[in-house]
Structure 1
Amino acid sequence: MRFHTRKWIKPEDLNPNGTLFGGRLLEWIDEEAALYAVVQLENQHVVTKLMTEIDFKSSASQGDIIEIGIDAVKFGKSSLTLRCEVRNMMTRETIITIEKIVMVNLDKQGNAVPHNKTEIEFVGDRLNA
């Protein structure tokens, strides 16, 4: 799992219990998945189609730093399936895992279109090609 993003938990990220608000975390995960798909598919027109079960294992508190990890699991014809894990860097505990996030490649009219990708590419490799 590659951990691409770190977030510092601030007061505005907390729920009334003083822990990380789940909706804020899901917003960050969705954004990270979209960014990952945009880079991999080389297209800014991608949408989230599906997120499987969301099961919180632990939480984070103000001042904690979390990491969001994303891995590509499968390239479909017009989709990219990702897996996500979020962990608390302070406690080393997994906060959440999402086994399946499906992102869909779109044309400018919003229709699903093939992306012709079959494996993960790194930007550095594209620049050296």
Structure 2
Amino acid sequence: MIPKTFNYDRLVKSEDLNHHSTLFAGRCAEWFVEAGFIAVASLLPAHNVVCLKIHGLLFKEPLKSGDIARFKSKIVFAGRSSLIVFVSLSESKQEDPILEGFITFVYIDDDGRAQPHGLTIELTDPEDIALSQRAAALR
């Protein structure tokens, strides 16, 4: 499988803000995981996918009410039962990400035990290869 990029946009509203009137980190983390989940659930049954780990979030700039948070997610590493997704966030009017990170998801059976997902990833793009190497180092 050649990795596909998924786009996921969210409007930052007043109820998403913290006491500094910027996007609350907890809300952003929720959206971050949703963006990653969308990439995985596009290939596997959603009820068999769980989030195992968020590998750090470093905010470079804040988002404010009225901004559009644009998440891009892509599966960059496939283990036996795990998939690692790279997710970046930018404000819709800018290209440079203001946040990026990796999330590990695990494919489980109906009893909650990890099971093989049977997916393999074919990487040809140098940027995807570099992301895959970074993801592999997180294991």
Query: Scaled by the length of structure 2, what TM-score is found?
Result: 0.78
Task: Give the count of matched residue pairs.
Answer: 119
Q: Which of 57, 73, 84 is the matching residue for 1:81?
A: 84
Identity between Structure 1 and Structure 2 (%): 30
Q: Which runs of 4+ in 1 moved over 6 A?
A: none
Q: Which of 14, 18, 23 is the matching residue for 1:20?
A: 23
SS in 1 for 2:15: helix
Q: Which residue of 1 aligns with 2:69?
A: 66
- 2:39 paired with 1:39: no
Structure with bigger strand share is 1
* 5+ long unaligned stretches in structure 1: 121-129
Q: Distance in 2 between matches of 1:6 and 1:51?
A: 20
Amino acid at match of 2:36: A
Question: What is the CA RMSD across the aligned residues, in angstroms?
Answer: 1.7
- 2:110 paired with 1:108: yes
- 2:52 paired with 1:52: no
Q: Distance in 2 between matches of 1:103 and 1:91?
A: 28
How far is 1:42 from its partner? 3.5
Cα deviations by residue, 1:98-121 (Å, 9 ceiling, x for unpaired)? 0x211000111111000111137x
Query: Scaled by the length of structure 1, what TM-score is found?
Result: 0.84
| Contact 1:84–1:97 (CA under 8 A) maintained in structure 2 | yes
* 5+ long unaligned stretches in structure 2: 123-139
Amino acid at match of 2:19: P
